[in-house]
Amino acid sequence: MNNLNEYLGGRIINVRDLDSDIQKNLLSQGGKKVKATKNEAGTIVCYRCLMPIKITTKCDYCRNCINLGKIRRTDQLVITGTDILFPQQGQYLQWDGELTANQKKGVTELLNAFKHHQDHLVWAVTGAGKTEMIFPLIEQALKQRQRIAICSPRVDVCVELFPRIQKVFPTTSIGLFHGKSLEKYHLTQIAVMTVHQLIRFERAFDLLIIDEVDSYPLAGNLMLHKAIKKSRKKTGMTVFLSATPPKQLLKKVKSKQITLSQLYQRFHGHPLPEPHCHLLFKKIDFLNLNPRIRLKLEQILKNNVRVMIFFPSIPVMRSFAKKLEKFYPQLSFVSVSSQDKQRLEKVQLFRERKVQAILTTTILERGVTFKKIMVIVLNADAKEFSKTSLIQIAGRAGRAKDSFDDEVHFYYQYYNQQIRLACAEISYLNRQVK
């Protein structure tokens, strides 16, 4: 019977993928069988992703969630039981860190919202320590033997979060699930996963925590927003975390649909590093490498500074990497992008200080924390960046107590709106701290 753990917990599974014995067992343990499509006001929608299906003679399956396995119109699905009694434990949270006064206030607000099953937004500047703030909330849910999902739209953020959660809840079952993970789904009391994985669940979680709610691919993605709504139990609570919350959420705060905690200060009490702005009179590859950038690279090498360099696109990054190899062979670096299969390993190399620099697209703009680093954005005026992404990128710097004043440098040819607004907002946030 143990292998049922691979299915239980509000999973939506195609009957075609189940052998009949397992199916029978799942149905006897609170599972239900449904048709793969349903009719919603005259539109045929897929039961799993809740998106409309366009049926043609050639295509009778849902194209929206095809990545999670094909669901045909004529299929049947099993929704597995969620009535699970997790073991009672003596102590759940094992963390000896201390919360700042601001974090404590946020925690009180979060616990209060939890008590009232009230959805809540934590708007905290980058490096405010929002992850630590959710520890007491998770503990509270665990004490009530509830089930928790901690989600981010980004795989990298999940991978970073997972060991931190595991470390402070060492006796609780925790799983890490995303499209690139080798770990097969199994029932755990805490699941750390990408928002995308939520499509596979129905009414499964009591506490749903969505980190980086404004980030790609969640921003503006209807299917993922439906998944967030559908995967949580009706009696549960959803917490949204963001340093740059989207307008739609702030509107809900205004209309009192969700409550809000605001944290303007980083956990170490120092202000956010304000970017140094550098106008380039020529492109970054002028004379092979723009002399102003060369100057910065030479300082970096001389002082042995660890550096993250952000690029607007993969081609720009690749061409710059070639120049670096040619002109600065002594600089050890890796470069990563969304298309990079070795991304997680490369990030680890930088984390372990095996390379001095990491070249990256916006894929690492958020969720990752490194100590003592300089942050550089090349072509900060490019359309691939936005005010939000520049704020997030600048927020990678100064995160450690002993290097709160890490430098951030924006290089551009045109001082445009996104650069101006990002710098203005960082400076505004710093002024809010008394």
Pick the piece of the chain touching Zn ion (CB under 5 A) from 63-71, 230-238, 296-304, 317-325.
63-71
Smallest gap from residue 63 Cβ to Zn ion (A): 8
Instruction: Give Dmax over CA atoms of the chain in angstroms.
Output: 72
14's tokens: 């195609």
Q: Among 49, 78, 358, 380, which residue interacts with Zn ion (rule: CB under 5 A)?
A: 49
Contact pick of 8, 13, 36, 65 for Zn ion (by CB under 5 A):
65
Report the residue number, 48 or 130, with the smaller CB distance to Zn ion. Answer: 48
Q: What is the bridge-based pairing of β-strands 205-210 and 148-152?
A: parallel
Pick one of 18, 26, 46, 347: the residue that binds Zn ion (CB under 5 A): 46
Is 73 or 387 the residue whose CB approaches Zn ion more closely?
Answer: 73
Of the candidates 8, 13, 45, 62, which one interacts with Zn ion according to CB under 5 A? 62
Strands 37-40 and 43-46: antiparallel
The tokens for 215 are 């980030």
| Binds Zn ion (CB under 5 A): choice among 37, 64, 140, 335 | 64
Q: Which of residues 360-419 bind Zn ion (CB under 5 A)?
A: none
- For the bound state, the minimum distance from the C-beta of residue 205 to Zn ion, rounded and expressed in Å, comes to 20
Select 3 or 39, whichever has its Cβ closest to Zn ion: 39
Q: State in angstroms the smallest separation of the CB of 49 from Zn ion.
A: 3
How far apart are alpha carbons 292 and 273 in whole angstroms? 21
Shortest Cβ 10–Zn ion spacing (Å)? 16
Q: Locate 347 and state its tokens.
A: 């990030």
Which of 46, 6, 40 lies closest to 22, judged by CA? 6
Cα–Cα dist 200/231, whole Å? 8
Stretch that binds Zn ion, among 56-64, 227-235, 297-305, 403-411 (CB under 5 A): 56-64
Minimum CB distance to Zn ion smaller for 48 or for 147: 48
Residue from 95, 53, 97 nearest 72 by CA: 53
| 77 near Zn ion, judged by CB under 5 A | no
Q: Which is nearer to Zn ion, 64 or 290 (CB)?
A: 64
Distance between CA atoms of residues 102 and 264, nearest Å = 9
What H or E segment, with its residue span, contains residue 76?
strand 76-79
- How far apart CA 124 and CA 40 sit, in angstroms, is 38
CA distance 81 to 263: 38
Stretch that binds Zn ion, among 54-62, 169-177, 272-280, 299-307 (CB under 5 A): 54-62
| 150 close to 161: Cβ distance less than 8 angstroms | yes
Q: List contacts with Zn ion (CB under 5 A).
A: 46, 48-49, 62, 64-65
